[in-house]
Chain A
Amino acid sequence: MFRLGKTTLVAATVLAMASPVAAQETVKMGALATLEGAFTVLGEDSMRGVYMALEEFNYTAGGKKIELITGSSDASPDSAIRATRKLVEQDGVQVMVGPLSGSEGLAVKDYAKTQPNVTFLNGSSAAQDTTLRDPADNFFRFGTEGAQWMAGLGEYVYKEKGYRKLAVLAEDYSFPYTQVFGFLEPFCRLGGKAPADARFWVPIGNKDYSSVIAALPDDVDAIYVALGGADAVNFLTQYEQTGGELPLIGGSITVDQTVLGSKGRTRDFVVGTPSAGPISDTWDDSRWAGFVAAYKKQFPDGFPSPSLFAHAYYVNTKAALLALDTVDGNLSDGGKAYRAALAALEFETPTGMVKLDERRNAVADIFLTEVAEGPDGNLLNKTIKVIPQVSQTLGLSYDEFLKYGAVSRENPVCE
């Protein structure tokens, strides 16, 4: 054991001595995603996004070679911090992309404050407070967050679908809170209702939804469901089997490719479900079509269409590389000029223009979609509308937006 420890030590010392020389020609970039645990599949697709951006730049930016070092977490904040710390303090990465899930992002933001010379770009984590309250100067989010992803959906179901009273079913943690807030706030401002006793919060990985289904009130027009992955599949299957007839409204990862790809009658049942998110599978635009084609070419065994995770990691990695080009790969001032370049960066992504607000959170287009049956029988999300340039404060001033309070199970009240 001690010998292993020593060998590693020696290796580390050699690396540490070698790195100042190597830093002249290469820039070390770290990428962190959930390659273990419940979100493994999503983490793998995230990494595909990182590889796509690097491949596009031929692993070179600002005249320097990019050396990618990957890290893995299991979606818990503790493991995200340990993996980030290893990448930053041991491997010496100067640019860091990740993490994937909401609570991890909050933890990495706190850690970023202790490493002012390293530049952090978010992966796909979408909790609101990663950038809204008490942000870190060196943490950037070029992908949007959970409340932004819901832009337009509340108005749409109130005005177009005519829903007035809703039940809410969501997982019990920061990302669904953010989504529920983003969805209900405009819906309730218009006069819609979602009373507290019709909101159901289940733990991640919940298998049995029979008690929730039995408790669903009769007098609601639809159910807003913000569940992800296997949780969504389990609920939809059980709700269909018990003869549920209420129409659904989906969160950003409730009716994505992983759920729509599942077999069985659930498929017909979800046709017509409106949803919103940072991507739309069928957006009729050459930028998006080019992105999907590149994804399919590079990863023939990936998803039929890139998930929002691949998209978010791609956008953030690309931002990191574009800014490196701007500063000619020069990070010798502790990355100060590099971060200034990032803050000013404005670029074309597969889903339209993206730029940052003053707290380094993205302002980007959001897609309102509806599940439909494609020509080949596969279910897909049909683009209804593109909501242009959604900001984190949803069009309000920063101070005004803060008055809404932090996202939680009771925010907004909506009685």
Chain B
Amino acid sequence: MKGLSYKITGLLLIIFSLSYGLWTEVPELPIIEQSIRNLFYHVSMWFAMVAMMAASFGNAIGFLTSENMARDRRSISLAETGMFFSILGLLTGMLWAKFTWGAWWTNDPKLNGTAITMLIYLAYFVLRNSIDDPRKRARISGVYNIFAFVMMIVFIGILPRMTDSLHPGNGGNPGFNSYDLDNRLRLVFYPAVLGWILVGTWIAALRYRIRNLEE
């Protein structure tokens, strides 16, 4: 099995963060209370998603500069994996919001950013399905992928910082600043992020190999 070490590392890190995340001591913060543990399960999904989308973006640039079809197959496989993580991130976030804010969905910059990110990538999949010629599909969807990724970064990375938000870490709510100081949280959070990125890479690699066989 190729790349055995990174796959096993990823799995072990996930198993560690899923289980140790449940029994580790957490700081007592008002309102958030025990739901702070969602940091391990929810926030790590977004980190994994952005990593997958960034790799997909990198491969789209790679395709446009090299015209190498393998780059295009990598790009779409990574985007699909990123989409999978964003669905998981959305679900874990909604569950958390129901218990902390009392609603499944609120009008919040971060939530809007998520919804738009998913719409952008769904449009990307629609675009890919509407072109038959593989080389043309690779070129055109590569162009859209690059444009889409930049807009996504603007929307999830820049706009929320310009407006107030209820989300932890914004507008005076307890958030990342207080988490960062806490080594107990870090000890689980960083391994979770790394583990999910490694397993995401594995999923994308499998999808890529299925595509190679289909060609």
**A, B co-complexed:** no
Q: Which A residues contact B (CB, under 8 angstroms)?
A: none
